[in-house]
Amino acid sequence: MADPVDLSAFEQTVVCWKGKIMNGAKERVQIRIPLQPFKTLFIKRRRDFSQEHPDEADVSPAFLLYSSYHPERRIKRSASAGLLLPLCLILILVCPPGVSQPAALSPPQLDQLVARIALYPDPLLANILTASTYWNEIPEAAAWADQHSYLKGDALAQAIQADHLQWDPSVLALLPFPSVLDMMARDAAWTEQLGNAVLTQYPDVMDAVQRMRQLARRYGYLNTNGYINVIATGGYIQILPVNPDVLYVPYYDPLVVFAPPRPGFAVGGAIHFGPAVTIGAILGGWGWWLGSGFAWPSRTILIDRRPWRRVWINRSEYIHPYMHPWVRPVGPRVEVHRLRR
């Protein structure tokens, strides 16, 4: 039987690092753990080793210094695990899998992304950009707009309220434009990519719109007509409706209007416009009250003449300060109108 072992070497203080930052440095704390319960464990381990290796030298505390059975090392591992577990839980909550911020798009990628909408009138374009950030609501909204496309003006606004529609006001603002919502719903991947770009790099999106407008104007396609006023000031191009209460959706081929015209090509017919859409005061609760558009020099989207501040980090909590805030009705949705067949 081996001689009793002096366990005083184990009566130590375990030192660890606490996961807290104070004055630019981690706070070092000492955890004093009574090691008396480990004496029995050590003696048992010593006895087992002596039986398995009778020819070896007697076991001493130094033997266990680098052993996985060393009580102090077990305590340190336990202390470290106790500190790492809360940190891991925090990281999971703050950065849940699958919702990391999308990678930024390059200027050429953004040019291609906005090409199909860059020549839309500013008020309509602003609402398209903001509505795209709620891309998951677009398909249902497009279906509703198509089924109720016979409703116009006040009748449409009353139907929106009567049917208890649950979508964000920026999406409701596009219900008078079924063709726009249909375009966004048919290409859901494009709409989602546009929405993510607005959430993460909207100044770059606005720069891309200006680059495409400059091209269309340089090649002679973008000019003032009976539908829009094209105003070039301070290095920026605005596209405003001739009548602020009446908008027309433009239709054009991006491969044509952003490239030099072919010899003999009639540039005047490259952009044509859909039917008039009247935006009355009753639609003001969804961003049309004071009007929407852009402050181009500061690269700011304006909805109801108020800066749109929804970005990636606050996308779950953001509520836009509308002049006449839309109170979302209590669900569920109802249908009290005839559907278009």
Are residues 300 and 164 both part of a single domain?
Answer: yes
Which three-class secondary structure state does DSSP give residue 158? helix
Quote the CA–CA distance of 122 and 237 in Å, as a whole number. 10
DSSP for residue 105: P
Residues 73 and 200 in one domain: no
Clarify whether residues 184 and 79 are in a common domain: no
Residue 33 lies in a domain: yes
Same domain, 116 and 239: yes
Q: Environment class of residue 286 by beta-carbon count within 10 Å: exposed (0-12), middle (13-18) or buried (19+)?
A: buried
104, 201 Cβ separation under 8 angstroms: yes
* Cα–chain center distance at 222: 32
- Structure confidence at residue 208 (pLDDT): 98
User: Which domain-ending residue is among 94, 120, 151?
Assistant: 94
Residues 131 and 267 in one domain: yes
**Cα 101 to Cα 113: distance, rounded to the nearest angstrom:** 18
What is the rounded distance in angstroms from the CA atom of residue 258 to the CA atom of residue 108? 13
pLDDT at 334: 66
299 with 226, same domain? yes
Q: Please name the amino acid found at residue 97.
A: P
In contact, 47 and 108? CB cutoff 8 Å: no
pLDDT value at 266 more than 70? yes
Question: Distance between CA 26 and CA 31 in Å, rounded?
Answer: 15
Q: What is the dihedral of CA 70, 74, 80, 85, to 10 degrees?
A: 160
Burial 37-50 (b: 16+ CB within 10 A, else e): ebeeebeebbeebe
pLDDT in tens, 37-82: 445 555 665 666 566 666 655 555 544 444 544 555 554 555 455 5
- Whether the CB-CB separation of 107 and 205 falls below 8 Å is answered with no
211 and 137, same domain (yes or no): yes
What digits encode the pLDDT tens for the residues 143-171? 999 999 988 888 888 888 888 888 999 99
Q: Is residue 118 part of a domain?
A: yes
With a cut of 90, say whether residue 242 has pLDDT above it: yes
| 272 Cβ neighbours under 8 A, 6+ residues apart | 250, 251, 252
Task: Report residue 46 as tokens.
Answer: 């010593």
**Tokens 């060393």, residue located:** 70
pLDDT of residue 90 exceeding 70, the answer is: no
The C-alpha atoms of residue 334 and residue 163 are separated, in whole angstroms, by: 5
Domain count, the chain: 2
Q: What is the CA radius of gyration of the chain?
A: 33
Identify whether 322 is part of a domain. no
Verify cis geometry, omega within 30 degrees of 0, for the bond prior to 332.
Answer: yes
Same domain, 85 and 129: no
**The domain boundary residue, chosen from 60, 94, 128:** 94
Q: Which residues form the domain of 209?
A: 107-307
Domain boundary among 38, 60, 94: 94
Asked if residue 200 has pLDDT above 90, the reply is yes
- Residue 323 within any structural domain of the chain: no
Q: Is 326 among the domain residues?
A: no
Q: Are residues 133 and 44 in the same domain?
A: no
Q: Render pLDDT for 280-326 as a digit per residue (tens, 0 to 9).
A: 666 766 667 667 999 999 999 999 889 999 999 999 999 888 877 66
134 falls in which pLDDT band (50, 70, 90)? very high
**How many residues does this entry show for the chain?**
341
Q: Is residue 223 part of a domain?
A: yes
Q: What is the pLDDT of residues 325-339, one digit of tens each?
A: 666 666 666 676 666
Amino acid 272: pLDDT:
95
Q: Which residue has the higher pLDDT, 289 or 242?
A: 242
Residue 241 lies in a domain: yes
For residues 46 and 131, membership in a common domain is answered with no
d(CA 56, CA 21): 48
121 and 78 in a single domain? The answer is no
Asked whether residue 124 carries a pLDDT value surpassing 80, the answer given is yes
User: 263 near 254, Cβ under 8 Å?
Assistant: no
Do the domain assignments include residue 297? yes
Residues 158 and 303 in one domain: yes
Query: Exposure of 16 by Cβ count < 10 A (0-12 exposed, 13-18 middle, 19+ buried)?
Result: middle
